[in-house]
Chains A and B, each alone.
Chain A
Amino acid sequence: GAVVSQHPSRVICKSGTSVKIECRSLDFQATTMFWYRQFPKQSLMLMATSNEGSKATYEQGVEKDKFLINHASLTLSTLTVTSAHPEDSSFYICSAGDGANPEQYFGPGTRLTVT
C-alpha cells in the first residue's frame, strides 16, 4: 500500500512551547489529509480534515487556534500544537487519501509529551 510518513515520531516539549508535526505522502498525491488524536487504549478521534490549498475543517470541540493545520502541497500537511499543555500529551496520527480512490492510509503516529 501507499506510504505516509510522520515526523517526528516522538517529541517531548515544555509547557507553553509550540510543536510542529509533519505528515507526508511519499508515493501519491494526497488531496485530502486527516489529523487524528488517540488516547491510550482508545479509538481515534478525528480532529480536522484538510484539503490541499484550502483551510482545514475542524471537528466540533477542536480549537482551530490551538491546533494549526497547514496543507500547502499535495504531499505535505503540518499540525502545530501551539502553547502546548500537559493535557495535549497524546498520540497524533495523520492519514491521507488521493480523493479518487477509497483507500485512506495512515502515518506511523507522533507521540507528544508535554512536561
Chain B
Amino acid sequence: QVQLVESGGGVVQPGGSQRLSCAASGFTFSTYGMHWVRQAPGKGLEWVAFIQYDGSKKYYADSVKGRFTISRDNSKNTLYLQMNSLRTEDTAVYSCAKNWGYFEYWGQGTLVTVSS
C-alpha cells in the first residue's frame, strides 16, 4: 500500500532554514508528480509546491516563492522541501501528497514551528 512518511520538522528561529523529507513506498515514485501542502495550527490547507515526476518542472505558491525549494531523488524514493528565510507564519504541519491534478494520498505530516 502507498506510504508517505515525512520527517525533518522541529523548532527553528525566524530567518532560519529547515529541510524536510518525505519517504515514499508502495508505488513507482519516479512516475508521479508530488506536492507539499501545509496546515497551520487550527487553520485550513494551503498548497505549497509541486514537482514533476522527473524533477524537470517545479511550481510554488506565491507565499513561499524564492524561499522554498522542492526537489526529489528518484533513486531514493524521497521528496524534499528546503525552507530558507523562515517566518513565523510558516509554522505549520507540512505534508507530502502524491499525484498531479489532485492529492491522492497524504502523509501524516511533520510539524515545523518558527519561533524565537
Please say whether chains A and B are actual partners in one complex.
no
Question: Which residues of A are interface residues toward B (Cβ below 8 A)?
Answer: none
